[in-house]
Amino acid sequence: MTRIDYTKQSPEFFNKMIELSATEKESSIEEKTLHLVHIRASQMNGCGFCLDMHVKQAKIHGESELRLYHISIWRESTLFSPRERAALAWTEIMTKIPEHGVSDEIYERVREQFSEKELSDLTFSISAINVWNRLNVAFKTVPGTADAAFGLSRAGLK
């Protein structure tokens, strides 16, 4: 069954989401960390389209393949810095918010690595990728269909 193309049905919302995502270029969070966040949230949400896109973007921007493979096992991996680990922990808690909210312990652990501005920017980035995940999961956007539009074939991943 073919699903609707939400980009054509709601262009005003789609364009606002594009604007929000473009704002990440001005973020206080480094690009490498944002790639990790986008990939981890997309893994958790089962969004093939976003996972495909963000892995390719990370590869184009110099991320190592081994670190990409280790994102889902970041707790056991030695390849991530304390700051990246905090970003991944915050991504997980913000993607699957527990019934009783975010604990002070997790908040404080993440806050040790990020300034107030950085934590705010990070939270907006996580929120944005979660919206994109939900849109693309709901409408079954096919992974790889935006490669030409975003220049993702340069990643050399097929």
Domains contained in the chain, CATH given: 30-153 (1.20.1290.10)
Task: Check residue 79 and give its pLDDT.
Answer: 98
Residue 115: other Cβ atoms inside 10 A? 10
Cα-based torsion angle of the residue sequence 69, 107, 22, 81 in order, rounded to the nearest 10 degrees? -40
**H or E element: which one contains 56?**
helix 48-60
The predicted structure's pLDDT at residue 49 = 98
Between the CA atoms of 122, 128, 62 and 48, what dihedral angle is there, to the nearest 10 degrees? 140
* pLDDT the model gives residue 137: 98
Model pLDDT, residue 47: 98
Query: Which portions of the chain are predicted below pLDDT 70?
Result: none
Structure confidence at residue 92 (pLDDT) = 98
Q: CA-to-CA distance for 54 and 48, rounded, in angstroms?
A: 10
pTM for this predicted structure:
0.95
- Residue 16: the pLDDT is 98
Determine the pLDDT at residue 153: 87
